C-alpha cells in the first residue's frame, strides 16, 4: 500500500465514522444539542 492509498482509505474510514455519528446523534440527542442525553442523565442522577 502506498502512502497515497493509505490516506485515501483513511479518508474513507473517517468519512464513514462521521456519517454514522451524525445518524446516531440524531436518534438520541435531537436536533439542537448533541449532548442532550448526557445532560439529562446527569440531571436525573444516573
As a whole number of angstroms, the distance between CA 45 and CA 39 comes to 10
| Model pLDDT for residues 1-45, shown as the tens digit of each residue | 999 999 999 999 999 999 998 888 877 766 788 888 889 999 999
C-alpha cell at 8: 485515501
Total domain count, the chain: 1
Domain that holds residue 33: 3-44
Task: Give every CB contact of residue 34 below 8 A, 6+ residues apart in sequence.
Answer: 25
| Contact between 23 and 29 (Cβ < 8 Å) | no
| Contact between 36 and 30 (Cβ < 8 Å) | yes
As a whole number of angstroms, the distance between CA 13 and CA 8 comes to 9
| Contact between 29 and 35 (Cβ < 8 Å) | yes
Residue 29 confidence (pLDDT):
67
pTM equals 0.61
Residue 31 confidence (pLDDT):
74
Amino acid at each position: 500500500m502506498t502512502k497515497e492509498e493509505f490516506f485515501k482509505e483513511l479518508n474513507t474510514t473517517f468519512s464513514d465514522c462521521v456519517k454514522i455519528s451524525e445518524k446516531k446523534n440524531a436518534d438520541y440527542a435531537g436536533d439542537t444539542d448533541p449532548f442532550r442525553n448526557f445532560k439529562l442523565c446527569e440531571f436525573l442522577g444516573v
